Every structure is written in structure tokens, then in C-alpha cells.
């Protein structure tokens, strides 16, 4: 039975993790995700599960490493600079083929940055982030409801592919309040974990390891990882489309920027401009085939991000020179407005444009 509640995206993450039967949470405070460890410190003990505030972000990800190796559903959360500190651990976890979930509530950067919204951690999330040839399966919610519903999905993907999964949010999604249906319409699958280091009674011991001196063995591991990512790319691509059927210009945006762009589509349509929206839900695997199909039919693209231009590179790769790709970005915690994006849309169609320096966008050919 659904329970309708008003809550922040960060809080919805917690309820989603509990619904997903997360066994253990290890975290460390950093704004703008602090509501998550605070709420998890309340919810996890109520369900007989583990909550631990670590002494650092590095410690937290290594606690996740240990819990995942023991076969438990484990997660951690942080924000941009804190996620950077976890990247060594995530590389080890991926190499050991262990499932876990990491939530990044992005803030402005680089460096310590600020506590305002950002989307400049895209490369870090979808390209692996740490050392070596590995990937994080990456999901991007744009609503508080999706924050709740994506957590069981994230844990399922992690177990199915034995790989870390990143839920990539931003401060807007994490901090905004919306009604949420706390339903239980999830199929929580139980995955056998014969590889887990959970005690060797009655069986040979298991060893979790990412150190392979023999180059042939190390290459076999890498080939297995790449085959796994190829399978995920065939099966797990998700995206949302709005007014795309006749769109000559398709806006591409994820997270809260996608919501802003949906408003822009409505504004543009009122002016008679055939504009649509494609929102990647899975950032990795990326909906490259769909974008390529839209390009081949003649659509052009305007990628909107709260960054200097990261996802736009994946859009260009998907388009592969068959159509035009434009870019509009704001950085440092600044949020693009519907008016400035609409101005960019008009410019692409050859119409009038706002000349304010703050509203002027960048085009990268």
C-alpha cells in the first residue's frame, strides 16, 4: 500500500535504500547530502541493519568494500569532493567484482567548490573515476519520486552485474521537496553469492582480490569486465522523451536540468518552434543509439548542463558527425534558466537572442 509523504530527495534516497533491503550504510558528513546519513542513522537501526558514521570518506568506501565482500547489500553517499576521495576504493571494488551503491549529490566545483548545484562530476561517474578500465553503472533521477524508486533498481543492477552503481544527483534534486508515493511495488530479487567471504564452513575458502601479477590473468579480468559492460549496454539503457516525434531540435539534459528543459520545450512550442527533450536516465550505459537515430532522421541537438560541457561529448560521439550539436552550460553553482535556454533555442533557429552577457551561452562546434 502506498504511503504519500512530502520529503526531500535526500530523504527519499533513504527510504528507497531501506525498501531495497540495504544491509549496511557507511557515510561521512558533507553538504548538500547530510540529510542522508542523518536519516539513515534513524532508519537502519529500526530495521535491524547497520549504520556507521566513518572517520572519513576513504574509510567509508573501504567499509563498503568489506561489507560487499561478505555478501551484504552496502552503500555510501557523499558529494563531489567526498566522492573523489572514494575513487581508489571504487576501483578496487570494481576490480573485485563486488556490488554496491554510491550516491553523489553533486555540488559546485572544482576543488572544495561550494554547496550549490552542479553537474560537473559526469565524467567521474560515467568514465569510471578511478584508475584502470572499469565503469560505474550510473543512474540520474530528476524527481524525488525517482530518488525513492531508483534505489531498489540500483541495488538490483549492482547484484546482477556484480559492479558498483552510482546514483548521480545534484543539490537541487537532493534538497527539493515533493510528494512521494512510498509504495512497495518492487521485486526485490535475492541473488546467490557463492563468491562471498562469509565463512568457509563446509566449502573451500573464498578470496576477494584485485592484485594479479600474471598479465594474462589480469587481462582475463579486464576482458570479463568489458563483456559485462557490453551486456549492460545492450540491456540497461533507459531514457525519457518529451515532444520528440516532430522535433527539429532536441534538448538533451539530465537531472534537474532536464526538468528545466521540459519547461523550455513547452515555451518553445508556444512560439511554434519544433523542440523536444531527450533525458538520459541511465548515463552509463548511455542512450547513444537513440540519439544517433534522431540525428540520422535530421534532428539537431542542444545539450544543457550545469558544467563546462561533459555529457555533450557523449552526445557528439553518438551523433558521429551526422548532425549539429550545440551546447549551453552554467558552472560554479549557477543554474541555467528557462529564459536563457529559450534564447539559445531561438538563436539555433535563427531568431532573436538576448544579449545579456550572463544569459549568453557557449557553442562548441
CB 109 within 8 A of CB 121: yes
d(CA 60, CA 74): 11
Same domain, 126 and 99: yes
Same domain, 282 and 160: no
φ/ψ of residue 318, rounded to 5: -65, -40
Of 15, 342, 353, whose CA–CA distance to 186 is shortest? 15
Domain assignment of residue 214, yes or no: yes
- Structural domain including 151 reads 4-235
DSSP run (H or E) holding 76: strand 74-78
- Of 180, 205, 235, the one marking the end of a domain is 235
Domain assignment of residue 209, yes or no: yes
Structure confidence by residue, pLDDT tens digits, 83-113:
999 999 999 999 999 999 999 999 999 999 9
Structure confidence by residue, pLDDT tens digits, 172-184:
999 999 999 999 9
Same domain, 222 and 254: no
> Is the pLDDT confidence value at 148 over 50?
yes
- Of 212, 235, 258, the one marking the end of a domain is 235
Domain assignment of residue 44, yes or no: yes
Count structural domains, the chain: 2
φ/ψ of residue 56, rounded to 5: -165, 170
Same domain, 254 and 319: yes
Same domain, 189 and 250: no
> What pLDDT score does 203 carry?
86
CATH number, domain containing residue 24: 3.40.50.970
Structure confidence by residue, pLDDT tens digits, 174-210:
999 999 999 999 989 999 999 999 987 788 899 999 9
CB 165 within 8 A of CB 139: yes
Same domain, 255 and 199: no
Structure confidence by residue, pLDDT tens digits, 6-35:
999 999 999 999 999 999 999 999 999 999
d(CA 302, CA 135): 26
Same domain, 231 and 243: no
Same domain, 217 and 253: no
- Of 196, 213, 235, the one marking the end of a domain is 235
Question: 153: exposed, middle or buried (C-beta count within 10 Å: 0-12, 13-18, 19+)?
Answer: buried
Domain assignment of residue 359, yes or no: no
Amino acid at each position: 500500500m502506498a504511503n504519500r509523504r512530502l520529503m526531500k530527495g535526500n530523504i527519499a534516497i533513504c527510504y528507497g535504500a531501506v525498501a531495497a533491503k540495504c544491509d549496511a550504510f557507511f557515510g561521512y558528513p558533507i553538504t548538500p547530502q547530510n540529510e542522508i546519513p542523518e536519516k539513515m542513522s534513524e532508519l537502519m537501526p529500526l530495521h535491524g541493519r547497520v549504520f556507521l558514521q566513518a572517520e572519513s570518506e576513504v574509510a567509508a568506501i573501504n567499509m563498503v568494500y568489506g561489507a560487499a565482500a561478505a555478501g551484504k547489500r552496502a552503500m555510501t553517499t557523499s558529494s563531489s569532493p567526498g566522492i573523489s576521495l572514494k575513487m581508489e576504493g571504487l576501483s578496487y571494488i570494481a576490480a573485485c567484482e563486488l556490488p554496491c551503491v554510491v550516491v553523489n549529490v553533486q555540488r559546485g566545483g572544482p576543488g572544495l567548490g561550494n554547496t550549490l548545484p552542479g553537474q560537473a562530476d559526469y565524467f567521474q561517474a560515467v568514465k569510471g573515476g578511478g584508475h584502470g578500465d572499469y565503469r560505474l553503472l550510473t543512474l540520474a533521477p530528476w524527481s524525488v519520486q525517482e530518488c525513492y524508486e531508483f534505489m531498489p533498481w540500483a541495488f538490483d543492477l549492482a547484484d546482477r552485474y556484480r559492479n558498483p552503481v552510482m546514483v548521480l544527483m545534484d543539490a537541487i534534486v537532493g534538497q527539493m521537496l515533493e510528494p512521494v508515493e512510498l509504495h512497495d511495488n518492487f521485486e526485490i530479487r535475492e541473488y546467490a553469492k557463492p563468491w562471498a567471504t562469509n565463512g568457509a564452513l563446509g566449502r573451500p575458502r573464498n578470496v576477494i582480490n584485485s592484485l594479479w601479477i600474471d598479465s594474462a590473468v589480469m587481462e582475463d579480468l579486464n576482458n570479463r569486465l568489458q563483456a559485462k559492460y557490453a551486456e549492460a549496454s545492450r540491456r540497461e539503457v533507459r531514457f525519457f522523451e518529451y515532444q520528440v516525434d516532430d522535433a527539429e531540435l532536441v534538448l538533451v539534459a539530465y537531472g534537474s536540468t532536464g526538468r528545466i528543459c521540459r519547461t523550455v520545450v513547452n515555451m518553445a512550442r508556444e512560439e511554434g518552434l519544433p523542440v523536444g527533450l531527450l533525458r538520459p536516465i541511465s548515463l552509463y550505459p548511455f542512450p547513444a543509439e537513440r540519439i544517433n537515430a534522431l540525428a540520422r532522421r535530421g534532428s539537431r541537438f542542444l545539450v544543457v548542463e550545469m558544467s563546462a560541457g561533459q555529457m555533450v561529448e557523449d552526445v557528439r560521439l553518438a551523433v558521429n558527425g551526422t548532425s549539429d550539436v550545440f551546447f549551453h552550460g552554467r558552472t560554479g553553482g549557477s543554474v541555467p534558466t528557462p529564459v536563457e535556454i529559450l534564447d539559445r533555442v531561438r538563436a539555433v533557429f535563427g531568431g532573436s537572442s538576448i544579449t545579456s552577457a550572463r544569459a549568453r551561452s557557449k557553442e562548441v562546434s
